[in-house]
Structure 1
């Protein structure tokens, strides 16, 4: 078995295309919300982000949606084996079908580490294609549904490469959504950012921008990274 051990839960990732990775744990650690009651994690994979949010937000009920059946079942088992099992629910569906089947429900936080290769060559592995590759229409649909199912004060938070972040920012005005925050993820202080955690919602607040540095030097994590993940990773 391929088990990733966190401080308060374990993640079985056997057979899953997308293993526990830096993008996922950063989003789980850095996502912000004001005592959310309802969260949906789109493309949950093994369920790691949903588990991290369940640890952080003790009143939230979390729906975790996954298009790959094996991954959805793995997430369900990971939830069942955690202390947060009463608040975590795995759904094998596309996010569109999931939302359409839950008309009228609103979420305080919509979160996703979505497929990150935009309009690029796909791999020979079907599971990796599902987990990693998409096109621009995916994000148009995601933002359209976000506008419908987000509470008035809620936020959607995504971790994406810079070209994808640019596309999303261009799509927001069409759906009366506003960019609120950008966290620029850098490997080192003097390197260019390679990911952004973008936060948007229905409230127009102005845009807060800040960097986040992962390493001080090769294989030496920054104090910022250690602080963000100290409650989760057993190496800290």
Structure 2
């Protein structure tokens, strides 16, 4: 499968590992890691999000977990070939049983969100067969530092249930970004950020395309340090 080339790194891809997608690019571009020194990514896939965050924060160190051995091996290749390789590590690990005394300043994830079904396509990466929202929230609340930020991207329709479960685990919503696929459409995704410390909620909207197959100016600006866009006349 063809590699995905970014400005400062390259993502090797595989038919057996969830590929580079807009959700990952958005989270890698928007997650708040300004003050993070120790970052955990849950479910690395190709390693895209950690690589983007490593480019954005040159002082942070990253640990990625994935339950899929093929994803772990692919991520390792992508980490090792990047200019940030000395700050990136990934391991084959089930997040539910991850045992560490460390606390993380940032936990990021593009989690599986479809209910379990008969489909085998990207089953572990897309369906909640290995990690559901409640398990993800509970474990993240244990591993987050006092001033840390837990960031994720999920379908808009899952937002209310997720926020309720987070509240039950003493996580406060501090940032909410409503993602629209195209101008004038319904919300497609939510980027949510939580903290163990209550803060004023920051809420905003982000539009990916201004018309079909035409990225919006905010998207072009957001991703200009990552994407290699073709010149447009």
Alignment-derived partner of residue 145 in structure 1? 139
Instruction: Say whether 1:177 aligns with 2:176.
Output: no
Alignment-derived partner of residue 186 in structure 1? 180
Runs (4 or more) in structure 1 with deviation over 6 Å come to: none
Instruction: Say whether 1:124 aligns with 2:120.
Output: yes
Do 2:44 and 2:75's aligned partners in 1 also have CA atoms closer than 8 Å?
yes
CA distance in 2, matches of 1:120, 1:138: 10
- Report the secondary structure of 2:16's partner residue: coil
- Report the secondary structure of 1:187's partner residue: strand
Shift of 1:174: 1.8
State the TM-score, normalized to the length of structure 2: 0.94
Q: Which runs of 5+ in 1 are unaligned?
A: none
CA distance in 2, matches of 1:169, 1:32: 18
Cα distance 1:135–1:178, how it changes in 2: closer, same or farther (>3 A)?
farther
Q: Which runs of 5+ in 2 are unaligned?
A: none
Cα distance 1:21–1:230, how it changes in 2: closer, same or farther (>3 A)?
same
Alignment-derived partner of residue 159 in structure 1? 153
Do 1:122 and 1:133's aligned partners in 2 also have CA atoms closer than 8 Å?
no
Cα distance 1:46–1:121, how it changes in 2: closer, same or farther (>3 A)?
same
Where in structure 2 are the equivalents of 1:71-86 lying within 5 Å? 71-86=71-86
State the TM-score, normalized to the length of structure 1: 0.93
CA distance in 1, matches of 2:118, 2:194: 29
- Report the secondary structure of 2:150's partner residue: strand
Where in structure 2 are the equivalents of 1:14-29 lying within 5 Å? 14-29=14-29
Alignment-derived partner of residue 214 in structure 2? 220
Matching residue within 198, 203, 210 for 2:197: 203
CA distance in 1, matches of 2:143, 2:40: 10
- After superposition, the CA RMSD in angstroms is 1.6
Alignment-derived partner of residue 3 in structure 2? 3
CA distance in 2, matches of 1:179, 1:124: 33
Matching residue within 106, 109, 120 for 1:109: 106
Do 1:16 and 1:46's aligned partners in 2 also have CA atoms closer than 8 Å?
no
CA distance in 1, matches of 2:200, 2:169: 17
